[in-house]
């Protein structure tokens, strides 16, 4: 049963102009296009300019949303930004956006940290705010500028990551209902498998590598995700009271196509109905799910009323699933090309 009262009414996206191709990476580290495509499915990523930060990516995504759907954000009463790469530890990206976008200073504004699961956590939070009646119009962003914290001498990480932003509006509605089952989780015993050092240099009694860049044990994250996500998807379905064959599109986090394949296989879900943004944008962390959703909308595949299952996973180790039905307003102008 879908709950009453909250719906996704608009979406916008942005990726920086600069492309980093597999052949560019061949000039930087000991790798090759064939290995990268075979092991990850990634061909290109977008890299922000030196003076372009997560707040800038978010701003452009919101401008795309407003232009496409003719939506005002003057009455937004909460801004949620999921990111692991905020411009600063504080002030928040959300506060910067509030001022830059001219959203009234009576709106709440917070950043949320749940790594690659961040967008789904933020969407879930927006739903809770709106369905409870506490807020009426929430701007939700998933955005990351991972290139700023990627070690371009480490071939096992630099081939994966890229930059981007996605934005959606979650609005209240007396009649329509667009959110159903969800499932959240976090297994902090794996916190040392993917991290960037901050004030502390150890977690779980493990001394961390202190490069100031993203560090990961790719194999461990891979194994954990392929084990955890199918179970989590089943929980979302149980929570929603529907079966997997009723799901029109599955949008797992775009970490690596070679992870999405076994996840679909374990679920017995057709890979053709899985949407991802990794082929030309890489792993964009919190942005990967809204980008994949928007690619589906821009391509005419994803339509209002279809059942879409989003599932984010990443550092923490966090994971979050949410079943949604879109109720997008009619487009009044074409999207800004990506």
Residues forming the active site: 116, 253, 283
User: Residue 222, interface with ligand COA (CB under 6 A)?
Assistant: yes
User: Residue 156, interface with ligand COA (CB under 6 A)?
Assistant: yes
Place of tokens 């977008």: 46
Taking the C-alpha atoms of residue 71 and residue 252, their distance in angstroms, rounded to an integer, is 28
DSSP symbols for 123-183: HHHHHHHHHTTS-SEEEEEEEEEGGGG--TT-HHHHTTB-EEEEEEEEEE-SS---EEEEE
Taking the C-alpha atoms of residue 56 and residue 155, their distance in angstroms, rounded to an integer, is 28
20 versus 36: smaller Cβ distance to ligand COA: 36
Instruction: Identify which range of 1-9, 85-93, 136-144, 217-225 contacts ligand COA by CB under 6 A.
Output: 217-225
> Which runs of consecutive H residues, i.e. helices, occur in the chain?
22-26, 33-40, 54-69, 93-100, 118-131, 155-158, 218-240, 257-267, 278-281, 288-298
Residues 263-292 binding ligand COA (CB under 6 A) are 283
218 versus 335: smaller Cβ distance to ligand COA: 218
User: Residue 152, interface with ligand COA (CB under 6 A)?
Assistant: no
Instruction: Identify which range of 89-97, 118-126, 152-160, 321-329 contacts ligand COA by CB under 6 A.
Output: 152-160
For residue 123, the minimal CB distance to ligand COA (Å) is: 18
Taking the C-alpha atoms of residue 203 and residue 52, their distance in angstroms, rounded to an integer, is 31
Taking the C-alpha atoms of residue 2 and residue 158, their distance in angstroms, rounded to an integer, is 41
User: Residue 35, interface with ligand COA (CB under 6 A)?
Assistant: yes
For residue 23, the minimal CB distance to ligand COA (Å) is: 13
Residue sitting closest to ligand COA (CB): 218
Q: Which of 66, 159, 167, 236 binds ligand COA (CB under 6 A)?
A: 159
Instruction: Identify which range of 132-140, 184-192, 212-220, 297-305 contacts ligand COA by CB under 6 A.
Output: 212-220
For residue 67, the minimal CB distance to ligand COA (Å) is: 31
For residue 200, the minimal CB distance to ligand COA (Å) is: 20
User: Residue 215, interface with ligand COA (CB under 6 A)?
Assistant: no
User: Residue 31, interface with ligand COA (CB under 6 A)?
Assistant: yes
Taking the C-alpha atoms of residue 245 and residue 253, their distance in angstroms, rounded to an integer, is 20
Residues 75-114 binding ligand COA (CB under 6 A) are none
For residue 238, the minimal CB distance to ligand COA (Å) is: 24
Question: Sign of the C-alpha dihedral, residues 86, 81, 206, 39?
Answer: negative
Task: Judge whether 309 and 251 are in contact, CB under 8 Å.
Answer: yes
Residue 7 is inside which H or E element, if any?
A: strand 6-14
Question: Sign of the C-alpha dihedral, residues 64, 65, 71, 75?
Answer: negative
What are the residues facing 206 on neighbouring strands? 203
Instruction: Identify which range of 28-36, 144-152, 291-299, 300-308 contacts ligand COA by CB under 6 A.
Output: 28-36
Q: Would you tell me which residues interact with ligand COA (CB under 6 A)?
A: 31, 35-36, 39-40, 116, 155-156, 159, 194, 216, 218-219, 221-222, 255-256, 283, 314
């Amino acid at each position: 049963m879908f709950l009453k009262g909250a719906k996704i009414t608009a979406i916008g996206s942005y990726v920086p102009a600069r492309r980093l191709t597999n052949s560019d990476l061949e000039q930087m580290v000991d790798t090759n296009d064939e290995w990268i495509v075979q092991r990850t499915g990634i061909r290109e990523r977008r890299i922000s300019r030196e003076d372009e930060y997560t707040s800038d990516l978010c701003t452009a995504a919101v401008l795309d949303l407003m232009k496409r759907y003719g939506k005002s954000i003057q009455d937004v009463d909460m801004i949620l930004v999921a990111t692991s790469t905020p411009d600063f530890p504080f002030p928040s990206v959300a506060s910067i956006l509030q001022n830059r976008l001219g959203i009234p200073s009576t709106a709440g504004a917070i950043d949320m940290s749940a790594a690659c699961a961040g967008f789904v956590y933020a969407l879930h939070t927006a739903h809770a705010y709106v369905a409870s009646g506490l807020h009426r119009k929430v701007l939700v962003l998933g955005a990351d500028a991972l290139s700023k914290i990627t070690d371009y001498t480490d071939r096992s990480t630099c081939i994966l990551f890229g930059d981007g932003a996605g934005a959606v509006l979650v609005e209240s509605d007396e009649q329509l209902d667009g959110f159903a089952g969800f499932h959240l989780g976090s297994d902090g015993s794996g916190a040392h498998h993917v991290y960037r050092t901050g004030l502390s240099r150890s977690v779980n009694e493990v001394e961390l590598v202190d490069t100031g860049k993203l560090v990961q044990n790719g194999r461990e994250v891979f194994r954990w995700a392929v084990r955890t996500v199918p179970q989590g998807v089943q929980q979302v379905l149980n929570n929603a009271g529907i079966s997997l064959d009723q799901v029109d599109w599955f949008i797992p986090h775009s970490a690596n196509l070679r992870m999405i394949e076994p996840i679909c296989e374990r679920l017995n879900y057709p890979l053709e109905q899985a949407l991802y943004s990794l082929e030309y944008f890489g792993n964009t962390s919190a942005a990967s799910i809204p980008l994949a959703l928007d690619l589906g909308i821009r391509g005419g595949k994803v339509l209002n009323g279809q059942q879409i299952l989003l599932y984010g996973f990443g550092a923490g180790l966090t994971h979050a699933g949410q079943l949604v039905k879109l109720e997008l307003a009619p487009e009044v102008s074409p999207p800004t090309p990506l």
